[in-house]
Amino acid sequence: MEMGSEVRNKQVILKNYVTGMPKESDMAVTTHNTITLKLPESSNSVIVKNLYLSCDPYMRGRMRKPDSPSFVGSFVPGSPLSGYGVGKVVVSGHPNFKEGDLVLAWGTTGWEEYSVIAAPETLLKIQSTDVPLSYYTGILGMPGMTAYAGFYEVCTPQKGERVFVSAASGAVGQLVGQFAKLLGCYVVGSAGSKEKVDLLKNKFGFDEGFNYKEEPNFEAALKRYFPEGIDIYFDNVGGKMLDAVLLNMRIHGRIAVCGMISQYNLDQPEGVHNLVNIVGRRVRMQGFLAGDYLHLYPKYLQMVFPYIKEGKVVYVEDVSEGIESAPAALLGLFTGRNVGKKVVLVARE
């Protein structure tokens, strides 16, 4: 590939704002776009070739009309989606980056083959490449920081505490459970299939796991696994599971609210009825975003790299190949089709 050449640039476009469950037809993969791999003389930007694009549940909020209550900017209909990804710098107008650098785009790369990054300061340069590159969209990226900050900073866990994680085999949940086990907690996870529950117990080392789709009564299921109650709930799903958890929290328990994926595609969110229990039980519920804890990222990498290398923490990914697969990959998050962290392989190098 020659500097200055014009190349194909397939893009995943949002066609319209979405209400309810998003469909593949809400997006389109365009094949006619091209990009010239050249920047104007004075430009500070870089052009990145996208290698991996991350599928993250928060992206559902960006498919809404901008007047809806969402704190992340909406995508622009007719333009590519954007998000987290791993790429390689192919043209650089910025002194910190040179051709060939591998970078993690922290929410700022396009769902396309090549992206012009107008604010390269937001890119994190990837130093260690003795792990799968895709990990930088998962365990070494935003989901990893979400699990780390959410568990250690928000949940303020103690050895021996009883921890419940929902969506426990997902990009974040699988890490929370493993971190909690390493700390010496009792850990139970919920997930949406037998295969995922097997992962929890046999791969991630959870003490117990259950398939919520086979539990007619979440409250009873939780009582079964937590006869003495829950100290920490790492909430990825909200809704009915949260309601059942509120009936099972222990005094001075903590609920880290990472996301509420069960609610994202509903026109009217479900009601949570058991909130009053947080008073007598003195429960703290804390919503959080990994972005508030970015100053801890180096500390997190320092902790997690040895864990990865020693096999103390494992990470399961679910990779779709080709940018054409991206719309289905993203939607699969909302039907639970993914097993582990969902990522799209756009190009191998």
Interface with a second copy includes 284 (CB under 8 A)?
A: yes
Strand partners for 14: 27
User: What value does the CA radius of gyration of the chain take, rounded to a whole number of Å?
Assistant: 21
Calpha distance 41→308 (Å, rounded): 42
Q: Give residues 68-87 in contact with a second copy (rule: CB under 8 A).
A: 69-72
> Which of 347, 340, 344, 317 has its CA nearest to residue 330?
344
> Which one of residues 38, 223, 281, 337 is an interface residue with a second copy (CB under 8 A)?
281
Q: Which stretch binds a second copy (CB under 8 A): 108-116, 117-125, 251-259, 297-305?
A: 251-259
Taking the complex as a whole, how short is the minimal distance between the CB of residue 70 and a second copy, in angstroms? 6
Burial grade of 70 (CB within 10 A; 0-12, 13-18, 19 or more):
middle
Calpha distance 320→326 (Å, rounded): 7
CB proximity list for 128: less than 8 A, separation 6 or greater: 301, 305
Interface with a second copy includes 273 (CB under 8 A)?
A: yes
> Which one of residues 269, 302, 309, 335 is an interface residue with a second copy (CB under 8 A)?
269
> Which of 100, 74, 91, 72 has its CA nearest to residue 14?
74
State the residue for tokens 């890119």: 123
Nearer to a second copy, 61 or 205 (CB): 61
Interface with a second copy includes 227 (CB under 8 A)?
A: no
Taking the complex as a whole, how short is the minimal distance between the CB of residue 301 and a second copy, in angstroms? 23
Interface with a second copy includes 259 (CB under 8 A)?
A: yes
Interface with a second copy includes 260 (CB under 8 A)?
A: yes
> Which one of residues 270, 301, 303, 332 is an interface residue with a second copy (CB under 8 A)?
270
Interface with a second copy includes 324 (CB under 8 A)?
A: no
Nearer to a second copy, 285 or 328 (CB): 285
User: What tokens appear for 307 in the block?
Assistant: 């864990």
In whole angstroms, how far apart are CA 199 and each of 1, 34, 173, 189, 260?
A: 42, 42, 12, 10, 22
Calpha distance 56→312 (Å, rounded): 25
Calpha distance 60→63 (Å, rounded): 5
**Contact status, residue 186 vs residue 165, Cβ threshold 8 Å:** no
User: What tokens appear for 266 in the block?
Assistant: 């509903």
Calpha distance 90→47 (Å, rounded): 6
Taking the complex as a whole, how short is the minimal distance between the CB of residue 321 and a second copy, in angstroms? 31
Using CB under 8 A, count the residues that bind a second copy.
37
Task: Kindly compute the dihedral angle of the four CA atoms of residues 277, 213, 59, 322, in this order, to the nearest 10 degrees.
Answer: 160
Write the interaction track for a second copy spanning residues 157-176; mark x where CB under 8 A is met and - where it is not.
Answer: --------------------
Q: Give residues 287-306 in contact with a second copy (rule: CB under 8 A).
A: 287-289, 292
**Contact status, residue 107 vs residue 289, Cβ threshold 8 Å:** no
Taking the complex as a whole, how short is the minimal distance between the CB of residue 78 and a second copy, in angstroms? 25
Q: Which stretch binds a second copy (CB under 8 A): 1-9, 98-106, 165-173, 258-266?
A: 258-266
> Which one of residues 61, 77, 205, 229 is an interface residue with a second copy (CB under 8 A)?
61
Interface with a second copy includes 251 (CB under 8 A)?
A: yes
Q: Which stretch binds a second copy (CB under 8 A): 9-17, 63-71, 101-109, 308-316?
A: 63-71
> Which one of residues 28, 131, 247, 294 is an interface residue with a second copy (CB under 8 A)?
247
State the residue for tokens 């697969």: 325
Residue 29's SS3 state is strand
Nearer to a second copy, 8 or 284 (CB): 284
Nearer to a second copy, 1 or 276 (CB): 276
Nearer to a second copy, 165 or 346 (CB): 165
User: What tokens appear for 210 in the block?
Assistant: 């259950």
> Which one of residues 43, 96, 193, 263 is an interface residue with a second copy (CB under 8 A)?
263
Binding site for a second copy (CB under 8 A): 61, 69-72, 238, 242, 247, 251, 257-260, 263, 268-289, 292
